[in-house]
Structure 1
C-alpha cells in the first residue's frame, strides 16, 4: 500500500504544472474565454439569415412572394422538416449562448456598451421568435445539464422583451466603466458603436411589442407613440445588416449569386399597391414612383402579379408572363450583380427602419383619435420609404416624389385618412424585409375579419388561397411550429403540453392577437 502511495505521489509531481496534458476540453488553438468583439460581427449575419431563410415560406403566406413555390402560400407546413425553423435556430443557437458570453465578458471588463448590445439583441431575438412561434422556451433555455425544456406562454416572453430593452437602454446610457464607441467600431456592423442609435433601436423594439397588443385591454396608444418618438428618427438610424456581395459566401441570401429566389414571383397585392389600385380604386390612376425599383413589368410592359398558390399569367416565348422578384421572366436567375431592390447581391438587409416606426406611430395615433398626428406620421412613413427605395435603385427625383405625395393615393387631410390607408402603406413599405412584422399586423387584425373594435384594414386586399393546406381545417396559419430538428426529436413531452403535436397547431391563434 505504501509503495502504491509513493508511486501516485511521484506521478502527481511529474505532471504538476502540466494542466493542459490532462485537460481534454482545452484546445490551445481556440480561445477558451472569447472576447466580446470577436463574438459580435457574426451575430448580425445570424439575424439576417434567420429571417431570410424562413421568408421563403412566410413570404408566401403574407403575399410578398408568389409563384406556388411551396406550402407557405397555402398556409401549410412540412412534416419532419426544419423548413420554417431558422428563426428558432437563430435565437437559440446563432445568438443564444453567444450573447450570454458577451454579457459575462463585458460585465467583467465594465464594457457596458457591449452589455447593452447583447441585451438589445436578446430582446430582438425573443420578440421575433415569439411573434413567429408563439409559446417558446424562455426560463429554462440556457440552464446547464438540462436535456428537456418546458415552454413558456407568450405573455411572459413579451414581458421579458420589455425588461431586456429597458436594461439595454440603461447599459448604453452609462457613463462609467471602460466601454467606448471606439472599442465597438468595426465590430458593431449595424451602428458602429453609436450608443444613441442603439437606444433608439431598443425603443423601436418596445414600440413593436406594445403595438401588437391592440386587442388587449392593456393596450396603451400613448405609450406606443412615446416609444415610436424615441425610436429611429430618420433613415440614417435604420438597422441594416451589410452584405459585400462579391461571392456567394458574403452575398445577400436574396441576391442572384445565392440563386435562392429564382422561382419566386411578384404578387398581385404588391402590384396593386404600386399601381394605385388599392388607394384610388383604379389601376394606373396614380403610379407609385417606387414601382420600377421594386417590381418589374412583363415583356408587353404590363405589370402583373400572382394570386396565392398560383403562377397565373400565361406565357410569352415559353416564359411565365409574371416576373420573379429579381425582375426577370420564368425561373431565370439574373447574372451576379444584377437583380433589384433588396434582391441584389450587395443589398443590405433591414432589421428595423424609420418608415416602420412612423407607421406604428400613425396607427397608434389614429386609434387614439389623434388624427392630425396620425396623418403627419403616415405621410412621414411614405416619404421615408420612397427615400429608402430610391437609394437602392434608380433615383426617384424630388418632382416624382412630390407628385406622388400630393396625389390621390396619399391622403391629404386627417378627415379622409383611414386605418386601411396606414396599414396598406406600411405593408408596402416593409415589402421584402418586414415579414414577421407584417404577419403580426395581419394576425392582430385577424386577416380579413378585423380587430376587437371592428377595424379591418385588409378587407379586399389580402386574399386567402383558393384552398388552405390539408391540415388547416379551413383556417389560416397563426404561428409556425417549433424547429423539428430539436423539439420534435427530443422534447416531444413538452410539445404535447402546448398542443404542438397536433397537425393543426399552426392555426392556433396567438396570445397577442386575442382579447
Structure 2
C-alpha cells in the first residue's frame, strides 16, 4: 500500500474518534497487530506519528486550520487580521467570541494528535522506547499549545473514565509539571540512544528531522526552556530548575535555521496560502506594519507582499475595527506565499530564550546581549539576509505610528501609549524591562508566522506593544486595555463532560471567559 493511501486510511480512522466521551473506546484498538507486524518497518506505530505531526496545525483542511489558529492566535498576536466582517462583524476578532469557532483547537488536538501519540505509546511501551519518547515530545508540543489557549486540559487523565463518566482535567499548573516530567524522560531515552549509537528507528515517519535523534533532543531541550521561561513569573523556582536542565544538556538547544522545527506537509500547500491568496481572508496586522516599517526591517518583503501604491508601501489592518464589507481592506498587504512546511519553532527563538534566561541569571545561559544579537543574526540567516550589522547597531529607529487610509478612527498617533518606543541596539546598561522589551519584540518578529507562540508571549510579557481593539463585543468580559487572555473551555465539553468541567473551572483565576488570565499570565 502506498504511503499516502495508508495515511488517508489512518487519518479517516482517527477523525472518527473525536468526542471526549469516547476516550475509553479510543484507547481500545480493534485491529491489534503482532510483534512481526510491528517490526515491519514499524509502519503501524510510525504512521500515527506522521499524522500527529501533520495535525499540530491541520495540514489538509484549510477551513478547520483557519478556526484552529488563524482566527484566534494569529490575529490576537498582532501578526495578522482579516478583512472579512464575519457574522455581521461580531466575531473573535473584536471579542464577540464564537463558540462554534473556538472548539476547533480542542477537537483537532485530541482527535488527530493526542489520540495518535497515545496509540503509538501504548504499542511502544516497554518494547520500542525511542518511539515512546518521540510520541512524548510531540504530545507535549501539541498539549502545551492547547493549554496556552484554554488553561486546564485533559492530559495525565487522558482515557481514564470516572464512575460518573467524566474525564478529569489537569489544572494548567499540573499540566505544565507533567510536560516537564515527560520531556525529561523523553530526552533521557533519546540521549541514551545517541550515546549508544542506536539506529534511527522512525526515520520513515518523521516529517521534521527525518529520524535524527540529536535534533529531536535539541528541540525537546528548547521546548523545555520555552516552558520554563513561560512560568518564571508565577513559579520561579521550578522555572529555574527546568530551564537550567535544558541549558546544561550536552547536546544543547536549536542553534541554526536548518534545525528549525518545521513539519513538511508536501505535497499539500500551506493552509495560510489558501486563506490569504485563494480566499483573501487574511492580511497583515497593523502592529506588523508599525514595527517592521519603523525598523526598516529587511525581513518585511520576506513576510508580506506590498500593498497597492508601490513596492515600498505596506499596510496592515488594525484588530477589532468596523468593517462594512470585505473589499474595504483586501488591497492591504497579503502574506508572501509560504512553502510546504509549517513552522512551530525556530533556532532564533532559542537564542532569544537564552537571552531572557541570562537576564534571569540562570546557569549556562551565557550573555544576554550576545544571545540577543545571535537571535537576530539567526533569523536573518533563515531568510538569506546577509547585511545584519547595520540593523543590530540601529539605535534610533522605532515602530511607526499607524495610519489607516480608510478610517482615521483606527489610527495610532505619535505619542500614543500603545506605540512602542523600543529601539533595536542592545544596551547592557539599560533597565531590565527595557532589555526584556527588546528581546521579546525581536523574538516576536523572528517567530512569524507562528501566531500561537507569539500570542502566548505577548500575554506573558506585554511585549511587543500591540494596539487594542477599537470595537469590543465581549459584553464586558474582556478588557480592551488588557486584551484577550484565553479562549473559554469548549461548549462540547459542557455537554459531554460537565462534571469534570465544573471541577476544572475551580482552577481558573476567574470566570470561564476570554478575560480571565491563565495560571502563568500575571499581566
TM-score bracket for this pair, using the shorter chain length: 0.7 to 0.9
Q: CA deviation at 1:513?
A: 1.7
> Deviation string for 1:257-283 (max 9, x for gaps)?
89676121212211122122xxxxxxx
> Deviation string for 1:43-74 (max 9, x for gaps)?
11111228763222222222211135453322
Q: CA deviation at 1:325?
A: 2.7
The structure 1 residue matched to 2:436, chosen from 419, 423, 447, is 419
Question: Aligned partners of 1:217 and 1:191: how far apart in 2?
Answer: 32
TM-score (norm 2): 0.74
1:440 is aligned to: 456
Question: Aligned partners of 2:323 and 2:511: how far apart in 1?
Answer: 30
Gaps of 5+ in 1: 1-24, 277-285, 327-339, 448-456
1:382 aligns with 2:389: no
Question: Aligned partners of 1:225 and 1:287: how far apart in 2?
Answer: 36
Task: Tell me which moved more, 222-231 or 112-121.
Answer: 222-231
2:315 is aligned to: 304
Structure showing greater radius of gyration is 1
Q: CA deviation at 1:479?
A: 1.3
SS at match of 2:343: strand
Q: CA deviation at 1:166?
A: 0.6
1:513 aligns with 2:521: yes
Q: From the superposition, tell whether residues 210 and 176 of structure 1 become closer, same or farther in structure 2 (CA, over 3 Å).
A: closer
SS at match of 1:89: helix
1:404 is aligned to: 391
Question: Aligned partners of 1:373 and 1:87: how far apart in 2?
Answer: 37
The structure 2 residue matched to 1:489, chosen from 486, 495, 508, is 495
Runs of 4+ in 1 over 6 A off after TM superposition: 27-34, 176-179, 311-315, 369-372, 500-503
1:354 aligns with 2:347: yes
Superposed, 1:108-507 pairs within 5 Å as 108=126, 110-143=127-160, 147-175=165-193, 180-219=198-237, 220=239, 224=243, 227-228=246-247, 230-245=252-267, 250-256=268-274, 262-276=280-294, 286-301=295-310, 302-310=313-321, 320=329, 322-326=331-335, 340=336, 343-344=337-338, 346-368=339-361, 373-388=367-382, 390=383, 395-396=384-385, 398-399=386-387, 401-408=388-395, 410-416=424-430, 418-433=435-450, 435-445=451-461, 447=462, 457-458=463-464, 461-475=465-479, 476-484=483-491, 486-499=492-505, 505-507=513-515
Q: From the superposition, tell whether residues 357 and 464 of structure 1 become closer, same or farther in structure 2 (CA, over 3 Å).
A: same
Contact kept? 1:261, 1:325, Cα under 8 Å: no
Task: Tell me which moved more, 94-103 or 502-511.
Answer: 502-511
RMSD: 3.6
Contact kept? 1:120, 1:165, Cα under 8 Å: yes
Q: CA deviation at 1:483?
A: 3.1
Instruction: Say how many residue pairs are matched.
Output: 436
SS at match of 1:174: helix
SS at match of 2:469: coil
> Deviation string for 1:397-455 (max 9, x for gaps)?
x23x333233335314423562211111111111211x22222222223x4xxxxxxxx
Question: Aligned partners of 1:321 and 1:293: how far apart in 2?
Answer: 19
Gaps of 5+ in 2: 1-28, 59-63, 396-422
